[in-house]
Chain A
Amino acid sequence: MNIDVVGLVWLVPGIPLAAAIVNGLFGRRWLHRATGVIASVALGLSAVLGVAIFFAVVAAGHVARTVTLYEWIGAGDFHVNVAALVDPLSATMVAVVTVVSFLIHVFSNGYMEHDPGIHRFFTWLPLFVFLMLTLVLADNYLLMFVGWEGVGLCSYLLIGFWFERPAPYTAANKAFWMNRIGDWGFTIGTILTFLTFGSLTFHDVFPKVAGVAQTQPLTITFIALAFFLGATGKSAQLPLYSWLPDAMEGPTPVSALIHAATMVTAGVYLVARSTPLFAVAGPALLVVAIIGAVTALFAATIALVQVDIKRVLAYSTVSQLGYMFLACGVGAPIAAVFHLATHAFFKALLFLGSGSVIHATEEQDMRRMGGLRRKMPITYWTFLLAGGALAAIPPLAGFWSKDEIVGAAFTNGQPILWAVGVGTGLLTAFYTTRMIYLTFHGEPRDHHLYDHAHESPAVMTVPLLLLCVGAVFAGLVLGFPPEAGFIHRFLEGTVTAEAAAQSELPNYVLIAGLAATAVVAGLIGIAIGYAMYARRRPDPAAVSRAVGPIYTLLWNKYFVDELYDHRILEGGRALFGAAWAFDAHIIDGIVDRLAWLVSLLGSGLRRVQTGIVGNYALSIAAGLLILIVVYGGYATGVLHR
């Protein structure tokens, strides 16, 4: 093959952008439902190209190539190019993002079929993918920030897609504002990076990191923390996580896209991309690990008691992202990227499966479902496998990646974080079992809903099946044998700071022991879930009564929303009220006085405008007289210069 596939990398984001432009311009009047076909075909092409680039990079080994489109900013020493950095990390991300997005697009054709705003949907969706790919492929922090902000905007537009109802636009606003807080961190990080390193390009910054860390360790730590603040916003970590569950108000494919491919992985990608920076950032790395572990546990406990199927999935995403940050924090960014990839498949599958259920029943409350496996076999089986992957049941995808993270926490000297990881694994297995059981097993609790349920059309089930392949095999293909699998060799040296240290043979006895512990914890979780929801022994209602206050706490999601609303937002409102009063009375007051003064002057001058031509001529003559006097004064020496 003589075609330089990597050189065509700009087409990967370019094709979705073209689809978004075409759909945006012509969708409403002419294309209507054809927008879905256009967007899907575009994403299909993009995915083919993305996978081709992935294999091209695999074939070439450890390449890192920069494909420059044009120079964006050139001011003195400050150069920023619109350029794509193609290396193993970005190639992996591109492949995952394009493939998963393509399947979600196809699924959306069925899901959004009857929505009057379908052209809008299929304008924002490819745009979303375009901006995510911009973020992933950027070779500098500034271009990355463009994608970063862009996905924030698109998530806002898509979460608030059904803006006629109050809940979606409230959720969209919440997502936007929380992301803004994170973006502020990203901005600070970018500015500090430029001030410290004099460049924003990854290839210029990372080689200097070690040297600067010797002289200015605090600066590096601060930059890393600023970027991590950005990552917590985008990837829904504590304390900025609460927008993601609310984002469930958007159409379900959007949730799948946000959770699997385009939005929340951005934060993980940022941290993984900046690994050389974080590796020398000292305490910042520990902060990342702790935030990740705490978020994982925190979100998993909330997920235990949720009754909305999509909210369970949302909290599980927050939890799994916590795992990824935990991996980054304990110095195993490969495991983070690995988990990101497998998670993209099984979480997209779970969301699309729940979308299939919602499409069939028009209901999101699991308490009203039950027994749906008989009506929706394909959805059930794919959902079951994806749930198994989420619960880290071997040999499904989630097992390989998650165990690697938890194991890395142990081997890198963080036994407490390891324990948190294992405990979270138990909780994950429990709520996954609960969700699957409440939805698909048992007796139908709402017969009207059950009678009308039906399996989804092929346009929706085929993507489910394809994603299922990924959810089952991705872990095995990419990650076997553990810590020496394909993805490790592939990403080694790109993500990890010290490639040599990783190349020694892993301690398989230790790995097997840790994995066994995690698997046992997962099985215990499944067993408890089965006992409670299949055998009613103990009865869930009785359990929730027994632990009353804890249940209330979890049911209300630790009252975090209330805390934010009442404490922080109240304070904010007071501040904004003061700012408004200042604006209205001081700023506007000054402007009003000025305007009053000007109008006073104007009404005075207005009298001069008599409209009588003779008066104007007289004023001209008076001016002439003045000129003559002044000129004559100078000419005769009466006046001096």
Chain B
Amino acid sequence: MTLVPLPAFIAVSATLFFIGVAGVLVRRNAVVILMSVELMLNATNLAFVAFSRRLAVAGERGSVFVVFVFVVAAAEVAVGLAIILAAYRNRPTVDVDQLDEMKG
């Protein structure tokens, strides 16, 4: 059985991760930025699982870490959405460019 080599998975993970980074950097809609962050988290999950399955030194620890990333992602998206809603209530916009009260 020909296995897909480990570097291929890592490359896919890195690609998706930087797509997420680009999304965070270029989009101005807060909800889309949140989605991009989720993409990044998921990309790291792929790397974790790949290492867990294909590197002897990683063992189950990679998979366990993925579980924790799930937890963090769930918490992050809940709080993130709460912040977006709270900010939206103060200023009716989800355009992060207009949330510039911290301008020096």
A and B touch in the complex (CB under 8 A): yes
**Chain A interface residues toward B at CB < 8 A:** 605-614, 617-618, 621, 624
- In the complex, which of the residues B21, B24, B96, B104 contacts A606, with contact meaning CB atoms closer than 8 Å? B104
- Is B24 a contact of A611 with CB atoms below 8 Å? no
Q: How far is the CA of A611 from the CA of B100 in the complex (A)?
A: 4
Minimum distance in angstroms from B97 CB to a CB of chain A: 5
Q: Which residues of A contact B104 (CB under 8 A)?
A: 605-611
Looking at B26, B101, B102, which has the most chain A CB atoms within 10 Å of its CB? B102
Please tell me if B99 contacts chain A, counting CB pairs below 8 Å. Answer: yes
Give the residue name and chain of the B residue nearest to A622 (CB): B25
Find chain A residues with CB under 8 A from B89 CB: none
Q: Which residues of A contact B26 (CB under 8 A)?
A: 614
| Cα-based distance from A608 to B100 in the complex (angstroms) | 12
Count, chain B residues at interface, CB 8 A: 13
A614 CA / B29 CA spacing, docked (Å): 10
Q: Is B102 touching A618 in the complex (CB atoms < 8 A)?
A: no
* Residue from the list B24, B97, B99, B102 in contact with A609, Cβ < 8 A: B102
B61 within 8 A of A: no
How far, in whole Å, are A387 and B39 apart by their CA atoms in the complex? Answer: 103
Cα A612 to Cα B99 in complex, Å, equals 7
Are B25's CB and A614's CB within 8 A? yes
Given known pairs A618-B25, A621-B21, A621-B25, the reply for A613 and B96 (CB within 8 Å) is yes
Would you give 16 A-B contacts (Cβ < 8 Å), ordered by A? A609-B103, A609-B104, A610-B103, A611-B99, A611-B101, A611-B102, A611-B103, A611-B104, A612-B100, A613-B97, A613-B99, A614-B25, A614-B28, A614-B96, A617-B24, A618-B25
Q: CB within 8 Å of A: which of B10-31?
A: 21, 24-26, 28
B25: A residues at CB distance < 8 A: 614, 617-618, 621
- The residues of B that contact A621 with a CB separation of less than 8 Å are 21, 24-25
7 A-B pairs with the lowest CB-CB distances in the bound complex, closest first: A609-B104, A611-B103, A611-B100, A606-B104, A613-B96, A611-B102, A617-B24
- Chain A's nearest CB lies how many Å from the CB of B44? 14
Q: Please measure, in the bound complex, the distance between the C-alpha atom of A613 and the C-alpha atom of B100, giving whole angstroms.
A: 7
Cα(A607)–Cα(B104), bound, Å: 7
Closest CB in chain B relative to A632 CB, distance in Å: 13
Given contacts A606-B104, A612-B103, A613-B99, 8 further A-B contacts (CB under 8 A): A607-B104, A610-B103, A612-B97, A612-B100, A614-B25, A614-B96, A617-B24, A621-B25
B21 cross-chain contacts in A, Cβ below 8 A: 621, 624
A607 to B103, CA, bound (A): 8
Q: How far is the CB of A629 from chain B (nearest CB, A)?
A: 14
Q: How far is the CB of B103 from chain A (nearest CB, A)?
A: 3
Docked complex Cα distance between A617 and B25 (Å): 6
Complex CA gap A485/B96 in Å reads 98
Most chain A CB neighbours (cut-off 10 Å) among B21, B28, B100, B104: B104
**In the assembled complex, which residues on chain B have CB atoms less than 8 Å from the CB atom of A607?**
104
Q: Please, what's the 1-or-0 string for B72-101, where 1 marks a CB less than 8 Å from any CB in chain A?
A: 000000000000000000000000110111
Q: Which residues of A contact B102 (CB under 8 A)?
A: 609, 611
The distance from the CB of B86 to the nearest CB of chain A, in whole angstroms, is: 15
Instruction: Report yes or no: B100 in contact with A610, Cβ–Cβ below 8 A.
Output: yes
Chain B positions within 8 Å of A612 at CB level: 96-97, 100, 103
Q: Within the assembled complex, what's the spacing in Å between the Cα atoms of A606 and B103?
A: 8
With the chains together, A376 CA to B29 CA distance in Å?
98
Give, as a whole number of angstroms, the nearest-CB distance from B87 to chain A. 10
Closest Cβ–Cβ distance, residue B37 to chain A (whole Å): 10
* B33 CB to nearest A CB, Å: 8
Q: How far is the CA of A613 from the CA of B103 in the complex (A)?
A: 10
